Amino acid sequence: MPVTEYTWDSATDSILEETDGASNVLASYTNEPSPYGPLIGQRSGGETRYFHFDALGSTRELTDEAEDVTDTFTYDAWGNEVYRSGNSETEFHWVGRFGYRTPSLEARYSIRTRLYSQSSARWSVVDPRRFADGLQDYMYSLNRPTTNLDPSGLTAVCCHCQVVSFGPEVDAAPFFESAVCLRSPPAQCCRKVCCATRRGEYVGFSPIPPGPPATRPMAPPPAPTRVGYGHYCGPGRKANCLENKCADGCFSRWVPNYSANPAPIDELDAICELHDCCLATSSQAQKCWNRCKDELCPMVQAIDCYAMYPDPQFAEQNACVTMKRQFLTLFC
């Protein structure tokens, strides 16, 4: 089997070069000096190709050094190829600008941390951060593939923004309105990402609201009781929350302090963690209280304690069933 080795730029988390087992260069790439690329062009087999992307970052055309179009591509929302012309070899197709890579459009996409299957519209590997994008470990980009991206393979994000530098003599205040979106959606999304950064930086992708880190503190939860469950469900089991000052919506104003909170034991415990921080926001307005209920109650209703803990002799099953009932009764 042929061996392909990749030279990786750790500063931008993007590929610079491909070589075979004998260290012969197969392809070299030109990227912008910012996170996840973005990709500009490639040179392979003595030929240079330049990439032209749509608003999402998918390759739509390749051109040669004479600026002639050599290849065109069309995809559906989930990355399946609908049409292609030309035969230039490249691994960067759907969302190729930000490093989504596949040897062919029939193979799965390699997106840094995980593999993504466009035929099933799901990740092929469980989410290593657990609950970063909701309660579905295999769901891609919150099921919003036309607006969200996940170039890290860890957390869905809505935009990629670059901060405009005005020079050291300019006060930082105008900077907060200066974020330039490098792709849709509108600039207010980028401002939420960029508002906490310093001027002149490439911000790259960032979760909105901030998602869990790759690893979270691990700690055994208190023993389940009649009124308590996991780390966060029930009296005295509260999550630490941080104010997300970039947020403009009710549900994301206060978010869990993931660096301090132990990882939840299951989906119900994860919802209770969100519930604690949602209540901190909801105390400010009735509309936020209603928003919290609209977001969290369907999640709890969908939890199947009997599937998570099939042995009825385990205390966890009874505690899960009891806590689910209490949550729905008291909050929903």
Identify the CA nearest to 194 among candidates 184, 208, 183: 208
- For 155-184, letters b (16+ CB in 10 Å) and e give bbbbbbbbbeeeeeeeeeeebeebbebbbe
* pLDDT at residue number 253: 61
List 25's β-bridge partners, or say none: 19
Tokens of 204: 């790259």
- In the chain, what is the straight-line distance between the N-terminal and C-terminal CA atoms, in Å? 57
Q: Is 191's pLDDT higher than 50?
A: no
Predicted model pTM: 0.58
Q: How far is CA 311 from each of CA 144, 196, 300, 304, rounded to the nearest angstrom?
A: 36, 47, 20, 13
**pLDDT band (50, 70, 90) for residue 307:** confident
Arithmetic mean of pLDDT, 173-186: 33
Tell me the mean pLDDT in the region 7-17.
89
Determine what percent of the chain is predicted with pLDDT higher than 90.
Answer: 26
Segment 51-61 mean pLDDT:
93
Q: Which of 186, 183, 188, 212 is nearest to 34 (CA)?
A: 183
